Chains A and B, each alone.
Chain A
Amino acid sequence: MQLNGTRFEFFTVAYLTRIGNLSAGTLAELLAGLEQCSDASIFHHTFQTLSSHHFLTEGFSNDFAQWVLADANRDALAEQLAALDIRDYPSIAALREDLCRVVRAFCEEHPEFARQSALERFYFCESVEVNVPFGFAAANLDEFRDGISRLSHASFFFHFISSRLRLHLRTNDFSHWLANGLGLMPLADNINRIDIYTNTLDSARAKLLRLLDRERRKHEPGADR
């Protein structure tokens, strides 16, 4: 969506949370829910929740892991679920498969815990996405930097993280455009390596801007002397 000729068009995104009809009070029910819920629900409890909790950079990864830790009181399983890195998944189907695999293996290994009641129920919700153009675009590195510095958190996350699901690639909109639109492959790679789990969206953006500034300095007149 962002490649318009060689222009990068910035979008912003907003999500409505739709309350689903599934809920879980045990790990066995969580597994059943994971198998049955919509793709929008898996997205909501993984991608979307990481965006709305981006300021938690120690140990918060997704809603499933947090519920297993805080309400089902199963630290080892929570750790395994938290370790699933959404950047490794270019599709929701692949992510769902791994979530189910991890919970299923735990339930098979510990059937005594699978039907134990959690403190509070887990309610499956889903994200309904609405996106609109932010109203500005970039045709070169300077405009690109300016655009990124003006983005909201949601917009930054949309282009930097959830874009993987749109592109079906292990990259993001920014890196994709820098590589394919401007031919700046090393910069694109460096940007793609910024860790969203150990950074807030603000610190991730600051790192990205620093990388862009370094690149811009290389192209300043006299920089090659």
Chain B
Amino acid sequence: MNPVQTASRIPLDDYAAVIGAGELEELRALAKPLQGRSVEMVNSTAVGGGVAEILNRFVPLAEELGLRIRWDVMTGGEDFFAVTKSFHNALHGEPYHPDPRDFDVFRAYTDLNLRRLSLDSEFVVIHDPQPAGLIAARKNSSAHWIWRCHIDLSHPDRAVWDFLEPFVSKYDGAIFSSPEFARQLSIPQYLFHPAIDPLSEKNRELPPEFIADVLPRYQIDPLRPILTQISRFDRLKDPVGVIRAYRIVKRYLDCQLVLAGGSASDDPEGAEVLKEVQHAAAGDPDIKVLELPAWAPLEVNALQRASTIVIQKSLREGFGLTVSEALWKKKPVVASAVGGIPTQVIHKHTGLLAHSVEGTAYQVRFLLSHPEIAARLGERGHAHVKENFLITQKLKRYLTLFLMLAGNSGG
């Protein structure tokens, strides 16, 4: 079984310019006792999805720090992924009608992968529910097994959770993205915030001329205030609510609104929401509804950097990393106080929180009228992301976890 070959290799030293030499030296100091120790990351896909994107960048950095790290992907047929997709939705609290055959499919593919994968590393990190059953490989070994859950488990479907819980409880610990997403478990639970890569195409610095080239492509006027929400066309992101808030702002102040998201062509619900958004925006040339191909990272980056204010008016949210992306670019953010957003937007410190369309409009008007406060929030937001939500922090958390599991805990 060949591990996944990572596509992206940005040398660790390149991050010194972003985080500082002291922080980099600290990573090396933390990694020193772990030199040559083996780590295995396992998830269910090598391409697409947030976990694969993170591992693609994380694995080479960990390798450069001297860990013997490999990334394996579990295989499964369409039937397996149909079952795990329904599990995923059920764990998020959506209705699910248990079929005992679903559990048989899950067990069968778990057994198949137990025969395929080596799973003999000192530290094994299993990502999400699909490969959770691989804990059976642990048997009596002294290896440390961690379950990294990237989804919200606060209101899971009972039947699916009752099936998964016996697997999860055999791990040495579980990692969640927010305390709200965790459950009462018999094993320790840790908090790892998701993170952005400051050197990725979506977040790296861009030449001003590139940004200036992107705006005319979408008939965006660089000389007037630009309000932007970057998110897929999903009702939970409330794009129509953003248009309503913009219309209130527009009564007082001239501005444009950009709603940009990935293509909705392969997502029936997304296509429906896109139509609703286009309908709500009809007749106003200052509202730009943009369907970007495969998220076009450089264009998203340029749109965020060109924005006067970035909005994230979600009704429900996981962590909402688009907020960190905007803060990283020193943008003032107005966002809903849901999910992981208040962790990123500390009200009146790193951005402004709102709880309604009217509240969103009010905060946007306030910031448009007080550019010096907006700039200060943007500066602090950048510092907050630098300190807490960069991939180098994620690396530090994993090193700390491995050190603790290996018995290097100091307190």
Further contacts, 11 of them, CB under 8 A, given A56-B380, A200-B383: A14-B30, A14-B400, A18-B188, A18-B191, A52-B387, A70-B346, A120-B337, A128-B400, A129-B410, A135-B29, A152-B25
Are B25 and A134 closer than 8 Å at their CB atoms? yes
Contact B26–A155 (Cβ < 8 Å): yes
CB B18 to nearest CB in A, in angstroms, measures 14
By beta carbon, the residue of chain A nearest B182 is A19
CB distance from A77 to the nearest CB of B (A): 16
Chain A interface (Cβ < 8 Å from any Cβ of B): 12-19, 21, 23, 40, 52-56, 58-60, 66, 70, 119-121, 123, 125, 127-135, 150-155, 200
Say which residue of B179, B188, B337, B403 sits within 8 Å of A119 (CB atoms).
Answer: B337
B405 → chain A, closest Cβ, in Å? 10
CB contact under 8 A between A56 and B349, given known A15-B400, A131-B410: yes
Closest to A40 in B: B411
Q: Which A residues touch B189, using CB under 8 A?
A: 18-19
Residues of chain B within 8 A (CB-CB) of A133 are 29
Other-chain residue from A23, A56, A130 in contact with B346 (beta carbon distance below 8 A): A56
B61 at the interface (CB under 8 A from A): no
List A contacts of B29 (CB < 8 A): 12, 132-135
Q: Chain B interface: which size bin?
A: 35 or more
Contact at B191–A120, with CB atoms within 8 Å? no
Asked if A55 and B384 make an inter-chain contact with CB atoms under 8 angstroms apart, the answer reads yes
Q: Hey, which chain A residues are within 8 Å of B26, CB to CB?
A: 12, 14, 134, 152, 154-155
Give chain B interface residues in 175-190, CB to chain A under 8 Å: 176, 179-180, 182, 184, 188-190
- Please state if B180 and A121 are interface contacts (CB–CB under 8 Å): yes
Cα distance, A201 to B303, chains bound together (Å): 32
Contacts of A17 in B (CB 8 A): 190-192
**In the assembled complex, B33 has its CB within 8 A of some CB on chain A:** yes
User: Which of B184, B396, B403, B410 gathers the greatest number of chain A CB atoms within 10 Å?
Assistant: B410
Task: Indicate if the CB atoms of B397 and A16 lie closer than 8 Å.
Answer: yes
What residue of chain A has the Cβ atom nearest to residue B21's Cβ?
A: A150
* Chain B residues numbered 303-349 whose CB sits less than 8 Å from any CB in chain A: 337, 342, 346-349
B401 interface hit (Cβ, 8 Å): yes
Q: A15-B400, A130-B410 are in contact. Are A125 and B179 (CB under 8 A)?
A: yes
By a CB distance below 8 angstroms, the chain B residues around A125 are 179, 191
